[in-house]
Amino acid sequence: MLAPREAAGKGHGTGNLPGPFSNNMSEDLHPHAIKASAIGFGALFLMVALNWLAIHFGLVTIPPNTVPWKPPKLDARPGMFVHWQMQSMLHDKQSCLSALDHANELRYAPLNDTNTAQGCGFSDVVRLDRTPVAFNTSPEVTCSLAAALYWWQRDLQTIAAFELHTTITRIDQEGSYACRNVNNAAFGPRSEHATANAIDIDAFETADGRRIAVAKDWNKPTPEGRFLRAAHDSACTVFGEVLGPDYNSLHAAHFHLDEAAWTMCR
DSSP for 59-124? SS---TT-STTSPP-TTS---TTHHHHHHHHHT-HHHHHHHHHT-TT-EEEE---EEEETTEEESS
Percent of the chain exceeding pLDDT 70 equals 76
Q: Is the pLDDT of residue 116 over 60?
A: yes
Count CB neighbours of 155 within 10 A. 18
**Mean pLDDT across the stretch 67-92?**
81
Task: Express each pLDDT in 58-77 by its tens digit.
Answer: 666 667 777 777 778 888 88
Closest by CA to 168, choosing from 155, 183, 184, 181, is 155
Report residue 33's pLDDT band, with 50, 70 and 90 as the boundaries: low
Domain positions in the chain are 14-56, 82-265
How confident is the model at residue 50, as a pLDDT?
A: 63
Its pTM stands at 0.74
Count CB neighbours of 129 within 10 A. 12
Q: Is the pLDDT of residue 14 over 50?
A: no
